[in-house]
A = this chain, B = another copy of it.
Amino acid sequence: MSFDGQLPPKTRLLRAAAELLAKSAGGAVSTRQITQLAGVTAPTLYHHFGDKEGLFDAVVAAGFEEYVAGERDFAPSGQPLEDIRRMWDNHVQFGLKQPELYLVMFGNIRPESRPAVVADAEGLMEEMLNKAAVTGQLNVPPREAARSILAANVGVTLMLITEKAPERNLELSTMTRDAMIFAVSSDQAKSSSPDSSGKSSVVVAAIALNAALQASHSDQLSSSELKLFLEWLHRISTSSTS
């Protein structure tokens, strides 16, 4: 039940913190609990992690490895948008399986200070959306799409966590998921005229080209040309059709 084994104290502290975090039903976890379970005294903790938050960050980093591993497990299916769906589901599953850890990762919000893990998750999703962008499946720049989807994904997961397990209705998740993916995809009802409501095909094509250009190191344009080119492309991509 305790980690007094022959593992190094740093590892014991990490495991003890993770275990207590998982068991504490939302309540706070004290450094004294952690050090006692790890069979270590206080200064050891601060020597290795500097801070209580430092220790928690380390736990989060380990948890994030697991999260990312889950996100990358299923190789690209050739349909990027389908992969995004699985990323969403994996995100929700991760949150429901380890709610306390998830709350430390995504729920510990402070104004004007973004946890690193959020930025990483966003990058992961943007990366996947880029694949959708180069094939012209995206309606919106990948970054904006990633932020939007991730925001909804976190919101849904937090809401599901607050519900008691037996009452959890996962349809909330799938419905919100499909709504978001549909919204950013170019695969929408659209008349043939480019100036119909919704993004014009110019915008879609510009987004696709933008993503493709950044993925391939084309040497058809000089770097200064490319810079200006990309700026114009950005202007087109982010323009809203009035």
Mark A residues whose CB is within 8 Å of B: 25-26, 78-80, 99-100, 103, 107, 109-115, 118, 131, 134-136, 140, 144, 147-148, 150-156, 158-159, 161-165, 169, 171-172, 175-176, 178-180, 182-184, 186-196, 198, 200-202, 204-206, 208-209, 211-213, 215-216, 218-221, 225, 229, 232, 235-236, 239, 242
**Cβ contact within 8 Å between B159 and A150:** yes
* Residue from the list B131, B134, B144, B158 in contact with A109, Cβ < 8 A: B158
Q: Which residues of B contact A198 (CB under 8 A)?
A: 78-80, 131, 134-135
**Cβ contact within 8 Å between A194 and B212:** yes
Q: Which residues of B contact A164 (CB under 8 A)?
A: 112
**Cβ contact within 8 Å between B183 and A179:** yes
Query: Which one of A200, A201, A208 has the greatest number of beta carbons of chain B within 10 Å?
Result: A200
**Cβ contact within 8 Å between A221 and B195:** no
In the bound complex, what is the Cα–Cα distance between A136 and B152 (angstroms)?
26
**Cβ contact within 8 Å between A239 and B220:** yes
Query: Which one of A78, A164, A218 has the greatest number of beta carbons of chain B within 10 Å?
Result: A218
**Cβ contact within 8 Å between A236 and B215:** no
* Residue from the list B26, B144, B175, B189 in contact with A188, Cβ < 8 A: B189
**Cβ contact within 8 Å between B202 and A209:** yes
Assess A205 versus B202: contact at CB under 8 Å? Given A107-B107, A162-B111.
no
Q: Which residues of B contact A220 (CB under 8 A)?
A: 232, 235-236, 239
Nearest chain B CB to A93's CB is how many angstroms away? 15
Nearest chain B CB to A197's CB is how many angstroms away? 8
In the bound complex, what is the Cα–Cα distance between A220 and B232 (angstroms)?
8
**Cβ contact within 8 Å between A109 and B161:** yes
In the bound complex, what is the Cα–Cα distance between A172 and B235 (angstroms)?
17
Q: Which residues of B contact A211 (CB under 8 A)?
A: 205
Residue of B nearest to A237 (CB): B220
**Cβ contact within 8 Å between A147 and B161:** no
* Residue from the list B162, B187, B205, B215 in contact with A113, Cβ < 8 A: B162
